[in-house]
Structure formats: C-alpha cells, structure tokens
Amino acid sequence: MRTEIRICGFGGQGIILAGIILGKSASLFDEKEAVQTQSYGPEARGGASKCEVVISDGKVDYPKVQSPDILVAMSNEALMKYIVDLKDEGTLIVDPGTTDVEDVKDFIEEHNIKVYEAPATKTAIDEIGLKIVANIVMVGAITKITKVISKEAAIKAIEASVPKGTEEKNIKAFEAGYALAE
Amino acid sequence: MAEEFFIQGNEACAKGAIAAGCRFFAGYPITPSTEIAETLARELPKVGGSFVQMEDEIASAGAIIGGSWGGAKSMTATSGPGISLMQENIGYAFMTETPIVFVNVQRGSPSTAQPTMAAQGDMMQARWGSHGDYEPIALSPSSVQEFFDFTIKAFNLAEEYRVPVFVMADEVIGHMREKIVVEDNIEIVPRKRPEKVDGHIPFENIENGTTPMPAFGDGFNIHVTGLTHDERGYPDTNNPETHDTLIQRICDKILNNKDKICSIKSENCEDADIVIVSYGAPVRSVVEAVRRCDRKVGYIKIDTPWPFPDEQIAELTANAKDVLVVEMNLGQMYYEVDRACKKNSNVHLLGVIGGLLPTPDEILEKIDEIGGN
C-alpha cells in the first residue's frame, strides 16, 4: 500500500524535519520504503514550506505526492493552498492555534474529509516550554492518528535526527503529541 | 557490516566520494548542489582530506586538476551556471588526461534560471561543452542509492581511463531523501603510479590507451600542457601526425572500451510495441507509468548517457514500432536515441521543462497519443 503525506506550514516551523522523521521511521525502523521530498524557494525563512513523504510496503517509484492521503497543516495559508489536493475521505490534521478549519469547511464536507485537531504549538509551549518543538508534537499526533509509522520507530528516528543533547525534550514533545490524539 | 542511512542525494554523493578515496574538493557552492560541498567541508578533514572554497568555478576546476596532479583523488560539485564557467578547464583536463570528477546537479536553465527546480538541460554540454574532440564519460543516477554508487563508479572510471568523469544528477535526486545501504566491500580503483625508470615516457599508449600517472613531487620532470604534445609530453603543435595520434588515443581509450563502460537496465523490451527511454530522475516516473499501463510497453534506463550506448538501444528497440524518450529538456538525448534506432522505430519525445518531474499520468497520456494497439 502507498500512503502519501504532505506536511505544510511556515518556513522555520520545522516542517521538513517532521517529514524526515516520518521517512526515517518507516524506512530504517519499520521495514517499509519511504521517500521524502520538499519544495522551497530561494528565500531562507517565512513563506510557505512544504514537505512530502511517500511511505509504501513496496518500492516507491514516482517519488512525489500526487494527491495526499494525509494532509498536515500548521499554517492557515498552507491549509487553504493545499487542501484542494487532499483525497476523498482523506485525513486532515491541523494545529487549531495556527489554522482555522472553518475556512475549508465546504471542502471537508464535500469530500468526506476526516478532521483531527492537534494543538501542537500550544502543547509545545505549555508542556515543554519550547515553541520550537511543535513539529515534534505534531509527529506524535500524526503517529497516533494515522498509524503510518510505529511509535517505536518514531522514537528511534527522533533520537537519530534531533541535535545531540535535545533528545529528551524532543521525546517528551513526541509523547505529548501522541497523548493529544488519545 | 552494511550500514543504512536515510539521507539526501547530495549527502549520499559526498559519502560516495569519500568511500571512493576522494581527498580533495575545491568548489564554489551553488543551489541545488550546495549540500555536497557542505558535507565534504565537514567530512574531508576527518579522513585527512582537504576542502577549499574557491573564488569561483573557473578556479575550482583548475584547483581539482592541480589536486589530481598532486596525487589526490579530486572532485568538484556544481550546477549549470558553474559548469559553464568550468568548460575551459574541462578541456584542459581532457587534453592532459587528468582523472577528476565533476558532479553537476542540474537545475532549470539556461543562465541562472531556476535555482531550486530540476532539469536535465546540460546533457549535451557534458558531451560537447568544451571545444574540440574528446570522449567524456557521464553517469546519471535515478535514486539516492545510485547517487552514492555512481559517484564511486565515477572515481573508478576516472582512474581506469585517466579521464574527467561527469555525474549528471538533477535537483530531484540531489534533494530527495531515501534509504541507502553502504556495503563493507566497496570496489575501489586505486591510482596507478609509474615506476621510476630511465627514459620514462609519460603519455605512452599502454593499458586501455592510458599510462600510469605520476604526481608532482615524484621526480618525473613531466611537462603537463594543453598544447598538442608527443608521448614525452613535449609540445609539438605543427605536426598533424602528433595531433592525430594524441587525439585519436584520447578518444579511442573510451570508444574501444564502450562495452565495459556503457551501462543500461531494461525491462519488457523484447516484445514491447512501445519502448520508453529515460535516465536520471524521470526513470522513476517511467517505471511507475509502465507498471500502470495495460499496453505492451517496456523501458530502457540509461545509466551512462556518455559514451552513448547506441548498440544496446538499437538491439532493445529492434522490435518496437514506437520509442518514447522522456527527459527534462526540450530534446537532447532524444536525438541520440533517434540516431541509434536507425529509422527502425518512430522516435517520440516527451520533453518537460519548468522544473517539475514528469508525472506518470503525463507519460500515460503521451503513450495514448502515440497510439499503437
């Protein structure tokens, strides 16, 4: 089975790292195949950031996302821009602190989209004391909601991907995100 | 034990370079190749190598020629605008038979066009970019694993034939992340060094048309020049025979070994009505399109665009009514494929520019347009 995931938000939110962690979890620790791609412009920060991951039981040939099964939006601008590609009955995960699903209500109803709200930014600030780990909180929520990667693989991938010395805080952020979706 | 990594194509290229024995990198960072320079700046010093950021790409190409003659396996990485600046020194490297590796992570072109978008617009430039007759080797990876493997292969071929080798990647392969497996036993071709004997002839025609290469400081008193030179290395610019002998040897050492250098992969070509030919990132779209297509469609993946694998292409398309070339330019390797098919098949082009990888749907539409059964 091929699952296409698109994570989007502002530049600087750690969108790309969230996607790398999903890909790394699947391909190194869950014995699946994964490809991560991203698009960016010449500017370094701000603007829209988009990261795509394809996870499959078999070989991933075409590496880009065509119509995502899962859309994760961490900014309203990105939500509005990318919602139209989401598959019918697809999964939408949003951070209610940075998005407003009311703005895409019609699309959600027309296409039977399953909507989950994961307050990643608020949780990062309130529970970890660091806004910067909102992306890892979101990885926790994605893991629990979609089961596209296993919890064990996600933790190993986070440990292998975040800067040395920050592992503990990031795992805590992941657990907080995982608990959000329970 | 084999190790696994989930990394970017550009990081895999840098890893491959170090595994192949590269110990000198000189370059000028440019999107979308920058991560190769970044990774090597960090990793080369750890293995006793050197990294130099030069003032521009002209100097970068000169520096790696010097690095190679200094005895170190050397490379640079750039993109279209950089490789254009390097052309003068690329010709010099062919004339002086200097083993070096040029990695070109292709982006939208011409000029500075699209720094963050993918293209394959430099394929003919790799073949003919510098002035004069020469025979380049070029490899096109279509996965992160191949960017690692082909970088190693590029160093090996450079040493084997004493020739500059191009790794013609693109933004898609450079920036995407996939798993790679790094095996323990990687085959490396070490530099052959000459024995010090009286009357040593530095540009003699032995083994594969090449001769072992001394390093500066070894005491061989060798003259390295871009002028036409005899086998002792002395300039001899007015003698037609000296020029003919030199250039024929420089070309023949590649052409006479095409069967060893050329590499392709193919599937279902024997009884296909349509054979799709591609290289680099578009291979990924082609494979998916072929899998989804209910017609008799096969495909050829070219690993080595240069020297062009004419014979394999001719053989595998012999029974195909139509041949489709998919590439991210407005037709470059298309003309080579058309030539190789010798009018046995109708050769079509799906040339996609703008920066995005052709989609499987675009390829399937083109197959419908071509028709067939």
For the segment A16-33, the average pLDDT, to the nearest whole number, is 97
Instruction: Give the pLDDT score at B196.
Output: 85
Interface test with A, best of B179, B290, B352, B364 (most A CBs within 10 A): B179
Distance to chain A for B321, nearest Cα, Å: 26
For testing contact with chain B, the best of A24, A49, A62 (most B CBs within 10 A): A62
A12: enclosing H helix or E strand: none
Residue B188 pairs in a beta bridge with none
Regions in chain B scoring below 70 on pLDDT: 372-373
**DSSP symbols for A41-66:** -S-SSSSEEEEEEEEESS---S-S-S
* Model pLDDT, residue B373: 46
Would you state the pLDDT for residue A181?
A: 82
Asked whether A65 and A86 are in contact (CB, 8 A), the reply is: no
For residue B208, CA distances in Å to B80, B246, B249 come to 31, 14, 9
For residue A45, is pLDDT > 90?
Answer: no
Q: Which residue of A has its CA nearest to B181?
A: A28
Q: For chain B, give the percent of residues with pLDDT over 90.
A: 93
3-state secondary structure chain B: CCEEEEEEHHHHHHHHHHHHCEEEEEECCCCCCHHHHHHHHHHHHHHCCEEEECCCHHHHHHHHHHHHHCCCEEEEEECHHHHHHHHHHHHHHHHCCCCCEEEEEEEECCCCCEEEEECCCCHHHHHHCCCCCCCCEEECCCCHHHHHHHHHHHHHHHHHHCCCEEEEEEHHHHHCEEEEEECCCCCCCCCCCCCCCCCCCCCCCEHHHECCCCCCCCCCCCCCCCCCECCCCCECCCCHHHHHHHHHHHHHHHHCCHHHHCCEEEECCCCCCEEEEECCCHHHHHHHHHHHCCCCEEEEEECCCECCCHHHHHHHCCCCCEEEEEECCCCCHHHHHHHHHCCCCEEEEEECCCCCCCCHHHHHHHHHHHCCC
Cβ-Cβ contacts under 8 Å, B177 against chain A: 20, 23, 35-37
- Residue pairs spanning A and B at CB distance below 8 A: 58
pLDDT tens digits, B153-189: 999 999 999 999 999 999 999 999 999 999 999 999 9
Rounded mean pLDDT of chain A? 94
Assess whether pLDDT exceeds 60 at residue A44: no
- Supply the Cα-derived Rg of chain A in whole angstroms: 15
Dihedral sign, Cα of residue A97, residue A103, residue A104, residue A109: positive
Side chain identity at residue B247, one-letter code: I
DSSP state of A73: E
pLDDT tens readout for residues B253-274: 999 999 999 999 999 999 999 9
In B, which residues are within 8 Å of A44 by CB distance? Answer: none
- Does A41 contact B at CB distance below 8 Å? yes
Q: From residue B248, how far is each of A169, B62, B244, B252, B258 by CA, in Å? A: 65, 25, 6, 6, 15
- Tell me: the pLDDT tens digits for B344-353? 999 999 999 9
A42–chain B Cβ distance below 8 A for any pair: yes
Measure A63 CA to nearest chain B CA, in Å: 7
Q: Would the pLDDT of A47 be above 80?
A: no
Instruction: Give the separation between CA A149 and CA A22, rounded to whole angstroms.
Output: 7
CB contact under 8 A, B175 and A38: yes
The minimal CB distance from A63 to the residues B6, B284, B291 is found for: B284
Give the Cα-Cα-Cα angle A52, A54, A56 (nearest 5 degrees): 170
